[in-house]
Amino acid sequence: MDAANLFAPIDPRATEPVESDPTAERLRRQRDAALGYRLLGAFRWGDLGDGHISARDPIRTNCLWLLRYGVSFHEATVADLVLIDAQGNVVEGDAVNDPTVGINPAAHHIHTPLHEARPDVVSAAHTHTPWGTSFSAEVREFDPISQEACSFYEDQAVWNDEEVQVFSTDGGQRLAQTLGSRRLAILRNHGLLTVGASVAEAVGWYILAERVAEIHVKMGDRAQPIGAEMARRVYDELGRPNNAWHLFQHLVRRHIPDPTVVG
């Protein structure tokens, strides 16, 4: 997203653009990843260095862009992103020749297997949030107790695994198997993870999922779910991938005063 377009009206009919030139598409994904990290920071998530947003490279498609370790989410720029290969090695980025530059190891352990298992996934988002982490300790799926919750109806999985610190890509492979073709994984005693066909989609779903988790924790067992037929109808309407992209646009405009992420 260019700074000049920050306050441009959002056309409700608009769909997410994709650049035909791979180099331009790479920059688009990098920009959205940096903005995604800034959004997490705006909500004060990831303050302990926990969490990651991945962006599949459109040129080296088995490699992922991630934020280098030690950068505060609210200060993320494209220059702070590094490209890792399937073994977790930093292979590209402004700081690639700096031996002190690395990533959060869990980012490789979780994201690399997910992207390998899901060629359709461009991005995955995960961090430790107040409501998502709390809800994950219940080790169950979201119920359709709100409009937002219906966005994940029958499109979620629970990773019932005690490896809350994902020590290796073996854990990530088990997570990928559990997620299957779905968009949301609830990681037992750990938190939420979402995937999308774009960075904006993955981040949009993630922030929406945190809101759904908040509703569940606040309501407890007092909520009355809507029926399956209506939940599916709402999912068909609100669960469209383009809706997550629109959500991303609204969130950036609301929470990122200066969206300039390219120096």
Say which CATH number the domain at 177 has: 3.40.225.10
* pLDDT reading at 173 higher than 70: yes
| Cα 56 from Cα 9, distance rounded (Å) | 29
* pLDDT reading at 4 higher than 50: no
Tokens of 26: 């790479």
In a domain, 6, yes or no: no
* pLDDT reading at 128 higher than 80: yes
In a domain, 7, yes or no: no
State the pLDDT confidence band at 101, using cuts at 50, 70 and 90: confident
* pLDDT reading at 100 higher than 70: no
In a domain, 59, yes or no: yes
In a domain, 2, yes or no: no
Question: 25 lies in which domain range?
Answer: 12-255
pLDDT digits (tens, 9 = 90+) for 202-229: 999 999 999 999 999 999 989 999 999 9
In a domain, 176, yes or no: yes
In a domain, 223, yes or no: yes
Residue 46 Cα distances to 36, 65, 99, 117, 199, angstroms: 12, 17, 24, 26, 17
The total of other beta-carbon atoms located within 10 Å of residue 10's CB is 11
Split into its structural domains, the chain has a count of 1
